[in-house]
Amino acid sequence: MSLFKGLVMRTTFHLVLILLAGVGIGLLVRSYKEQQSVERPGLDDVVFSNDGPRIEGDPAALSEIENPDPSHPPDDEEWLSRFELTERNGELVKSEQLLGQPYVVSFFFSTCPSICVQQNQKLRELQDAFEGEGVKFVAISVDPETDTPEVLTEYAARFGADSEQWLFMTGDLTYIRRIGGEIFRQPVNKQFHTERFVLVDPEGKIEGFYNWPEKPQFRKLQEKIREMIKGEQS
């Protein structure tokens, strides 16, 4: 009798093992089939991601980038609508002096080893394309402690910047951050800026933001500048 019970127990144990193995194999097969049923991109398909535009500079702490202690505008205005900064020649330049012609705003810093160099080469292309015509280029430093007028004078010479057409500006960092955010809608901080050119029309209104590494956008920027110049001449 005991022998019979032992045989039954062993048989039951083996059946349970077989059943568990079957369930496990079934789950593996099901999982494999589900993976194969997922539509996968082909070699020629475009895969979209949530990568945003590149931003030059050290990816500092988010609190530094977002500026948790914002400065406040003067009592006579709720939001900056004008600015004045020191040009590389030491003279104070006011935004009102830029009215009557289109101008392109960019942000940079002189010790930037990569993106800023390429960005200013693009501005040199624009300067050559519109030499002597009614458009200015306004490059604003996001490292004003380093970028004194003397430093900017030497830096501008590296790109053959025309002193009348291509301005290099410096000032107080907190004020420059406000200019970037409140006037030109660009997040800037110390050694931190976007890869966008901001085109401002002759009336001082922002026409658009152009991501200069994108060739179609750079071409459109040139076309729009040309259109504005012709509009002023007519």
Is residue 227 predicted with pLDDT exceeding 80?
A: yes
DSSP assignment string, 17-68: HHHHHHHHHHHHHHHHHHHHHS----TT-----------BS----HHHHH-S
Q: Which pLDDT band holds residue 58 (cuts at 50, 70, 90)?
A: very low
- Read off the amino acid at residue 82: R
pLDDT tens per residue across span 3-26 = 555 555 666 656 656 666 665 666
- In DSSP terms, 157 is beta-bridged to none
Domain ranges of the chain: 87-233
pLDDT tens per residue across span 136-145 = 999 999 999 9
152-181: burial string, b at 16+ Cβ within 10 Å, e else: bbebbeebebbeebbbbbbbebeebbbbbb
Looking at residue 125, its pLDDT comes to 97
The CATH architecture of the domain made up of 87-233 is 3-Layer(aba) Sandwich (3.40)
Q: Are strands 136-141 and 206-211 parallel, antiparallel or unpaired?
A: unpaired
Terminal-residue alpha carbon distance, the chain = 114
Which tops the pLDDT comparison, 21 or 103? 103
Q: What is the mean pLDDT of residues 156-178?
A: 96
Which tops the pLDDT comparison, 98 or 46? 98
Q: Is the pTM of this model over 0.95?
A: no
Q: Which pLDDT band holds residue 54 (cuts at 50, 70, 90)?
A: very low
